Amino acid sequence: MASGMCASTVVLLAMVPRGGHIVTTTDCYKETRMFIETFLPKLGITPTLIDASDIAGLQAIVNNHEVSMFFTESPTNPFLRCVDIKLVSEICHKRGTLVCIDGTIATPLNQKALALGADLVIQSATKYIGGHNDVLAGCISGSMKLVSEIRIMHNLLGGTLSPKAAYLLIWGIKTMHLRVKQQNSTTLRMARVLEAHPKVFYTPSVSLSAISGRKLMLPLLLPRATTGRVYYPGLPSHPEHHIAKRKMTYFGGLVTFETTIKFIDSLKIPYIATSFGGCESFVDQPAARNWDVPRDERLKYGLKDNLVRFSFGVEDFDDLKADILQALDTIPTKTSLYSHQNGVVSDKN
């Protein structure tokens, strides 16, 4: 398909009937969430959002409603939450609910969602499958029966892969196993370094709107010793590390963590860009990418201004490590208040 978004929207339009019910997770790729939350309701489709680990919640929803599909990423973007695909598939299948996993972040090498019980898997091939940040593509896998139904919707809507994009995918996919292995290694090693680093901060957001009557958020920076957060399924501190260990071969090349945004500007190797999964490292500030979402709303999804998502490429580990450490070093030790210089994203951006 022409893109990952084409794959997810075609699956949803083909598989969820008018008046249907769909369950998805709160942590989710932004455009997918927009489609589910703002477009599907126009077709009379009800979305329910649950936390990735809320198995009891999923059970209650599928038992009490006729749910057409449980649609989720695993790992999710940007917090890399992992869903127990085997367990959710068992729960959903008892009630005739389809399970569709967006496995983009895992890659098809890392996670065999169909073998674990999912009915459908989608991939944004724009990321690791293409692997060179030069092509948009997507794909859908599943049984012949389901894919044939989906193919009809795909033909109706268009979104066909161009020959040039297909050619770039044929090039890119040849090295996917090498890239993914290297990215796993670099990312796990760097995630451990970051988790132990004093400049990786935990910043609880304190809303002063009640006091001042204005929408003013004042996040306080506390040293990592309090509760530093690095979100990576390969770290024992990750809430679904036990699930990731069971279902994933590698833990992937994305890591999300909290620091100050000065960090991003001090980096020399990665591009500041929103995509991921290519040979070049990318760094991204999810709050800036969601500038059109009011801050209170962003915070509901945990998208603090100082959240950083790093996609490791295939550059030399020591070069990347040196670059990240020098960028962390530029953050003053006694950062106590969060200022505009540190990259607060205004609602009026």
Ligand X SMILES: *Cc1c(COP(=O)(O)O)cnc(C)c1O
Candidate list 30, 181, 289, 321; residue touching ligand NAG; CB under 6 A: 181
Span near ligand X by CB under 6 A; candidates 88-96, 119-127, 227-235, 334-342: 119-127
Distance between CA 264 and CA 283 in Å, rounded? 7
Q: Do residues 33 and 6 lie in contact, with contact meaning Cβ atoms separated by under 8 Å?
A: no
Look at residue 185 and give the partner it binds from ligand X, ligand NAG, none, a contact being a CB closer than 5 to 8 Å depending on partner kind: ligand NAG
Q: Do residues 30 and 290 lie in contact, with contact meaning Cβ atoms separated by under 8 Å?
A: yes
Window 128 to 147, contacts with ligand X (CB under 6 A): 136, 138
Structure-derived torsion over alpha carbons of residues 101, 102, 108, 112, reported in degrees to the nearest 10: -10
Query: Contact between 105 and ligand X (CB under 6 A)?
Result: yes
Look at residue 97 and give the partner it binds from ligand NAG, ligand X, none, a contact being a CB closer than 5 to 8 Å depending on partner kind: none
Query: Contact between 278 and ligand X (CB under 6 A)?
Result: no
> In this complex, which beta carbon is closest to ligand NAG, that of residue 47 or of residue 75?
75
Span near ligand X by CB under 6 A; candidates 58-66, 84-92, 101-109, 171-179: 101-109
Span near ligand X by CB under 6 A; candidates 100-108, 219-227, 236-244, 282-290: 100-108
Query: Contact between 77 and ligand X (CB under 6 A)?
Result: yes
Region label for 302, one of left (φ > 0), alpha (ψ between -120 and 50) or beta (otherwise): left
Three-state SS for 297?
helix
**How far from the centroid of its chain's Cα atoms is residue 100's Cα?**
15
The dihedrals phi and psi of 153, each to the nearest 5 degrees, come to -65, -40
- Determine whether 109 is exposed, middle or buried from the number of CB atoms within 10 Å of its CB (0-12, 13-18, 19+): middle
Query: Contact between 182 and ligand X (CB under 6 A)?
Result: no
Residues that bind ligand NAG (CB under 6 A): 181, 184-185, 188-189, 249-250
- Residues lying near ligand X in the complex (CB under 6 A) are found at 3-5, 8, 29, 32, 73, 77, 102, 104-105, 124, 126-127, 136, 138
